[in-house]
Amino acid sequence: MGAYLVRRFLLMLLTLFGMSVLIFVMLRLVPGNITDIIFDSAGFVNPAQKAKIERQLGLDQPIITQYVTWISGLARGDLGYAFVSEKPAIEEILPRIPVTAKLAVLALVFSVLFGVPLGVISAVRQNTPLDYTLRVISLSGLSLPSFWLGLLILMAFVHWFGWIPIYRSSPDNMWQELALLSIPAAAVGFRYSALVMRLTRSSMLEVLRQDYIRTARAKGATEPSVNYEHALRNAMLPVVTIIGIEAAFLIGGLIVTETVFNIPGVARFLVEAIRWRDYPIVQNLVMFIAIVVVVVNFVVDMLYVVLDPRIKYEE
């Protein structure tokens, strides 16, 4: 197990290195740079002033030099200065992380809390009206665009309650913040719960057909015991995998949700930074997201051992 962990750690480092090169190169392939954009709001471009700003920001340096400067700074914890706000990048990024983290966790919790039990019920009650209803609901979750759903939710609140559930900075307490975030979390979690539900259902249906399930019933196990202790545990492996993968893709769904519900999180900020070609912000944020994805996938792999003791990570 120790050797496996070391191997995984080295692989993670290699993955992150590859990500850093990829994002660095891709950003510079996109047309336009920060100097074009700084001038855009002024309605013109002055070539001499543009060249001066490029020198000030180090953009006139060779690409390799720029990469080494960035990556060595990152290793020391120095994220550089945001091009647009001219403030330390860490001051721009750090305050936004907790908001998105809470939103992402709430969305995942929503998707698991609703997706797994509904998937089990749908599988156990296969081909009943309840099953059909749940499958239609899950289809709507997969097909409804999240921005549209978000706007519908906002309009419903305004129409029925005369109140708009958009995020306000500095909520009074944690519960108020959770209450505010739960609505957009439900909007984004709805889609993911649909995915989890369908996968749980198909995985459960496969497991429920196994011989050991028949054996368990024959030995007198109750239905809840059969469904949750015997079947679900074995059905969860692919579900855990998809939750891990979806956690990585969640950031994409959060961009739209953060925009519609006006949440000042990293997802929306990342899109804004890409639009502005704010290299320090984009590079550092993407690396942060890459680290999160890599760590989440590692945790998922470790969860397999818990769920299925037959799995061992050793020579």
Partner 1 sequence: MRGKLVSIVATAILAAILAAPPALAEKAGGTLRIYHRDNLPSASIHEEATISTVQPFMAIFNNLVLYDQTKKLNSTETIVADLAESWSWDATKTRLTFKLRQGVKWHDGKAFTAKDVQCTWNKLTGKDKDDFRKNPRAIWWHNVKDIAVNGDHEATFVLGRPQPSLLNMLASGYTPIYPCHVSAKDMRTNPVGTGPFKFVEFKRGDSIKFARNPDYWKKGRPYLDGIDWKVIESRSTRILAFTAGEFDMTFNADVTVPLLKDVNSQAPKAVCDLAPTYVSTNLIINRNLAPFSDPQIRKAMALALDRKAYIDILSGGKALVSGVMMPPPEGKWGMPPDMLKALPGYAADVEKSRAEARKIMEGLGYGEGKTLKVKVSTRNISIYRDPAVLLIDQLKKIHIDAELEVIDTSIWHAKVTRGEYSVGLNLTGVGVDDPDVNLYENYSCESERNLTKYCNKEVDALIDKQSQEADVGKRRAMVWEIERRLAEDLARPIILYDRQATCWQPHVKGFVLHHNSIYNNWRYEDVWLDK
Footprint of partner 1 (CB under 8 A): 31-32, 36-46, 49, 53, 84-87, 92, 95, 151, 154-155, 158, 162-164, 166, 169, 259-262, 264, 268-269, 272, 275-277
Q: How far is the CB of 241 from partner 1 (least distance, A)?
A: 34
Supply the minimum distance, in Å, between the C-beta of residue 22 and partner 1. Answer: 21
Measured from the CB of residue 86, what is the shortest distance to partner 1 in angstroms?
6
CB of 300 to partner 1, least distance (A): 32
Query: Closest CB to partner 1 among 177 and 272?
Result: 272
The distance of closest approach from Cβ of residue 70 to partner 1 in the complex, given in angstroms and rounded to an integer, is 21
Instruction: Count Cβ atoms within 10 A of the Cβ of residue 257 and give its class: 0-12 exposed, 13-18 middle, 19 or more buried.
Output: buried
Sign, Cα dihedral of 257, 259, 264, 267:
positive
Residues in the chain: 315
In the complex with partner 1, the residue whose CB is nearer, 260 or 290, is: 260
Residues contacting 63, CB < 8 A, separation 6+: 28
Kindly state the tokens that stand for 144. Answer: 């409804």
Tell me whether residue 44 or residue 175 sits nearer to partner 1 (CB atom): 44
C-beta of residue 165 within 8 angstroms of C-beta of residue 180:
yes
> Smaller CB distance to partner 1: residue 131 or 272?
272
CA distances from 89 to 23, 80, 101, 152, 265 (A): 17, 6, 18, 35, 15
The nearer residue to partner 1, 169 or 173, going by C-beta atoms, is: 169
CA of 145: how far to CAs of 142, 189, 246, 255, in Å?
8, 12, 16, 13
